[in-house]
Structure 1
Amino acid sequence: MAAVQVNKDLLRAQFVGKSLNEVITPTAILDLAKIEANCNLMLDAAERLQLSWRAHIKTHKTEELTRLQVGDKSSGPVNLIVSTIIEAEKLVPLLKEYRDKGRKINVLYSFPLYASCLDRLACVSAELGAGALSVMIDHVDQVPLLASLASKSGGNPPLVFLKVNVGTNRAGIIPGSPASNALIDALLASEEAGSSVLLGVYCHAGHSYAARKDWEAMGILGAEFEALKQVAEVVRDKRAPGKDPLVLSVGATPTATTIQHPDLASTDSASNGHDTSGVNGNTNGADILTTVPTQHLKALLKTLKASSFALEVHAGVYPTLDIQQLAAHARDLSLLNSSMIGISILADVASVYPARGPNNATEAVVNAGSIALGREPCQEPDGKRYSAWGLVMPWGALANSQPVPGADFPEVHGGWQVAKISQEHGVLRWVGRKEDEAALSVGQRVRIWPNHSCIASAGHAYYLIVDSRNVGREDEVIDVWPKWNGW
């Protein structure tokens, strides 16, 4: 069953108007200025390139940030992705609001369909109406569930994305495989029987998080489109005529955000000084190897549009960003740097231990461990470049002394880092020259940028909202956003 949601009015009465030095810790903080800016960058890029946009809400699980992701005042379609059914259930009032304003709505449950989720998804579909619910299919044995879902939802056939594996190996079919061809046949039969509507093909390039060069993820974006094109062409050749164009939905925050590259929006073939080197890959899920500049991607988008496919990008962590995104270098420093990270975890320094760490480094313990920060490392196979669980943000007493990750991160990193975590304890360690050490004291407060904001957020019931545009009141809580935790 759904988890109990904390009351927003009570939270606002408790926190709004207080300073971050007055609230309880550990707690998750969002900077409204930064997440608004990150959302607008994505909306503007998708509009410039005439790409459909589908926002994933799993990172934050809030109504307020969902509104920013889809452009609250826009008149365009509202396409969303959820990872838990409770997210879809909690979105129903907002989607009804947008539907009543004339916006086309659709929410995708982005997990392969299984029997025990049908009743709850059917309720969402029944409330929102025909065409509003999409589901994910990647195995022929899931296809019979579509008829049951349509029946339970009052006759609304679900829209279906065929999930394609482009190398992450988490879920999805391999393009060109016997399993892929069998699944295509089964889905087309389901569509002809009126049990579903095949919306398109979908992939998630989670392996793009391991990229480490500026704009490298752009090549992976091209590989995503190429893989989906291979599957979609098979579907198109077998499908009955007169259907809507298939949607090719690609994305993960590293790949999706590369559409912000300035050259993609221009007709000039010059690189404007930006490093457009990247990687591409074959379409059978193998590793990514070859270079694809912006001009190749521009040509690919043009070809796909001319082939009567509808092109869609999706992403989720881009509004908040995190340390993993800085490590991936999906964009250059002008469009991806630490000043754009919109989430931090506020914690108290409970004790300080001089010379306890390696090479006599100072350590300190804070009241934010794995439950408050998450336990997800950056993808650093050798463990040599960055192995911490978060970086301390330059804020408060550390505003002018804590270094920030730069163009050479994660190969080079220094300052106060979360070196170790247990359930409630986080151990900070100074990395760098002893003479440069920024002093920490017992009772001091710090804000920590987490490695992965999705996982860090999961340990918190709400976000305290600040706005760095409020000069002189940057640390004042202006709102509280309850989260839709649970499943």
Structure 2
Amino acid sequence: MATTQLSKDLLRAQFVGKTLHQVPTPSVVLDLAKVEANCNLMLEAAKRLRLNWRAHIKTHKTSELTRLQVGNDDSTPVNIIVSTVMEAESVVPLLKEYQLRGRPVNMLYSFPVYLSSVDRLAAILAQLGPGSVTVMVDHIEQVKLLTLIASKSGHPPLVFMKVNMGGNRAGVIPNTPTCAALVRELLLAETVGAAVFYGLYSHAGHSYASRQDWEAMGMLGAEFSALHDVAHAIHAERPDHPLVLSVGATPTVTTLHHPDFGVDIDGEGRKQNATGTNNEGEAVLMTGAESGSTDAAATGLIKDIIARMRADGLTLEVHAGVYPVLDVQQLAAHARDATYLNASAVAITVVAEVASLYPGRGAGDVTEAMVNAGSLALGREPCQDMGEVKGQHYNGWGIVMPWAGVANVVPGPQFPAVHGGWQVSRISQEHGVLAWVGNKEEETPLAVGQRVRIWPNHACITGAGHSWYLIVDSRNQGREDEVVDVWPRWNGW
């Protein structure tokens, strides 16, 4: 059962109207302008390519950002993904609101189902009604739990079979006896009314290790192809069985913003341009020439894969989670080129204070500084060094954003592989150590008591260390640092 959440009204009374120079530190901040732009880009891409869209809400765990991810088009379903049962329980009131507006809802609990989750998931399914809850299965022993959920809720749950297409975190491997056995068990469970075999699901987590512009596009094609192979095996057992094929991770799905996807002809014969973001985080139309991209072969291959799957009667769905806020890891993956993906699109920062300075202590006699944001405020998740010479790529724990007198190195197209300026070089529980990377002569001075904003490596882990987000809006000229809202998080399990 969900625990009592923090009062949004009390938090707003405490923070709204203050600036980032007046709030306690460390605090995690989201820029509404950039969040909205990133969400709109994804909704536009899914609509343009006629793909079903499923929003993962695990990064932020808030109702406010969930609304932005699913959009306000009442003609579309509200399909979401949660990673904890706490998220599932907490989002129920919002899903009920959408049901009252006539929007079908479906919540996927993305962890393979386990015994202690059954009662709570069944209670949610009972509240939201048939077709509202989907669970994940990747082992034959999990199938028996579907009967329990159905009996406790009064409705059979929908089921995604998780397919491992290279990430090796979870899922069955295609074209193996284990995969075939699980398919048969799920079809049997459907026959006896214990479940609805809804479709196949993959997550290309290894796409985070891509480092070249648009490289993750090939992994998106591999995801679709892997699920297509499994769908053929299912149709060999049960011809014409309806299936949803759901693929995605932020690096793979955001490659759908590629300009060669943006000049397709829609159903009414109009050409549509792709969209990007400008330096203010606003959505802007762009042509293929403006993007500088020439990778038409990869987009053509994915279009062909999609066409073949649609010809087989399959429903195609994409999902992603961290894309609304982004982070240093996403910049490192270079899922899009710098025109579409750059530091100006990162919506999340952590505000911290410089507590002490240590001149000449760093390598090359550069200054080091201590800030009050360590692993609990920033997270301890490294950005994998994929460079040919280890240690030359970025390997820190966060990068200081140019802001409020900190004229840090402005990121270029190869950022963060090519990097410099103030970075979080070491962290412990509450302590973060900033070090200047680059020529000592170019070092930007810091002062004790000065505030800095840090782009974190992984937004999902960073958010977990905080109970709410402070919301600013960079579209408010002259008041870009003013808190305009507070979004409480659904922390816990």
After superposition, the CA RMSD in angstroms is 1.6
Q: Which residue of 2 aligns with 1:45?
A: 45
Q: Which residue of 2 aligns with 1:128?
A: 128
Q: Which residue of 1 aligns with 2:253?
A: 256
How far off its partner does 1:136 sit?
0.2
How far off its partner does 1:277 sit?
4.9
- Structure 1 Cα separation of the partners of residues 3 and 434 of structure 2: 33
Which of these residues, 275, 285, 309, is aligned with residue 293 of structure 2?
A: 275
State the AA in 2 paired with 1:93: P
Deviation readout 1:105-159 (Å, 9 max, x if unpaired): 0000000010010000011100000000000000000001000110111x21000
Which of these residues, 465, 471, 486, is aligned with residue 477 of structure 2?
A: 471
Contact 2:183 2:234 in 1 (8 A): yes
Q: Which residue of 2 aligns with 1:11?
A: 11
Deviation readout 1:238-278 (Å, 9 max, x if unpaired): 1265x4x211100000001111112113249x964643559
Task: Indicate yes or no: 2:182 matched with 1:183.
Answer: yes
How far off its partner does 1:43 sit?
0.1
SS in structure 2 of the partner of residue 106 of structure 1: strand
Deviation readout 1:71-105 (Å, 9 max, x if unpaired): 03443010000000010101111101111111110
SS in structure 2 of the partner of residue 296 of structure 1: helix
Deviation readout 1:332-363 (Å, 9 max, x if unpaired): 11110000000000001001111101111111
1:45-84 alignment runs, 5 A limit: 45-84=45-84
Unaligned runs of 5+ in 2: 266-286
How far off its partner does 1:198 sit?
0.7
- Structure 1 Cα separation of the partners of residues 54 and 264 of structure 2: 26
Unaligned runs of 5+ in 1: 279-291
SS in structure 1 of the partner of residue 260 of structure 2: helix
Q: Which residue of 2 aligns with 1:412?
A: 418
How far off its partner does 1:411 sit?
2.6
How far off its partner does 1:380 sit?
1.3
How far off its partner does 1:27 sit?
0.6
Contact 1:420 1:428 in 2 (8 A): yes
SS in structure 2 of the partner of residue 331 of structure 1: coil
State the AA in 2 paired with 1:201: L
Task: Indicate yes or no: 2:397 matched with 1:392.
Answer: no
SS in structure 2 of the partner of residue 293 of structure 1: helix
Q: Is the deviation greater in 43-52 or in 298-307?
A: 298-307
Q: Which residue of 1 aligns with 2:117?
A: 117
Task: Indicate yes or no: 2:274 matched with 1:266.
Answer: no
1:89-128 alignment runs, 5 A limit: 89-128=89-128
Which of these residues, 357, 365, 372, is aligned with residue 367 of structure 1?
A: 372
- Structure 2 Cα separation of the partners of residues 299 and 203 of structure 1: 19
Q: Taking structure 2 as the reference length, what is the TM-score of the superposition?
A: 0.93
Q: Which residue of 2 aligns with 1:171?
A: 170
1:207-226 alignment runs, 5 A limit: 207-226=206-225
How far off its partner does 1:410 sit?
3.1
Residues 83 and 383 (structure 1), Cα distance of their counterparts in 2 relative to 1, 3 Å cut: farther
How far off its partner does 1:405 sit?
2.7
Residues 428 and 473 (structure 1), Cα distance of their counterparts in 2 relative to 1, 3 Å cut: same
Q: Taking structure 1 as the reference length, what is the TM-score of the superposition?
A: 0.94
- Structure 2 Cα separation of the partners of residues 415 and 74 of structure 1: 46
How far off its partner does 1:406 sit?
2.1
1:204-353 alignment runs, 5 A limit: 204-239=203-238, 241=240, 243=241, 245-267=242-264, 272=289, 274-275=292-293, 277=295, 293-353=298-358
SS in structure 2 of the partner of residue 68 of structure 1: helix
Q: Which residue of 2 aligns with 1:437?
A: 443
Deviation readout 1:164-209 (Å, 9 max, x if unpaired): 0011110000000111000000000000011000110000000000
Contact 1:347 1:368 in 2 (8 A): yes
Q: Which residue of 2 aligns with 1:282?
A: none
Percentage of pairs with the same residue:
63
- Structure 2 Cα separation of the partners of residues 481 and 208 of structure 1: 30
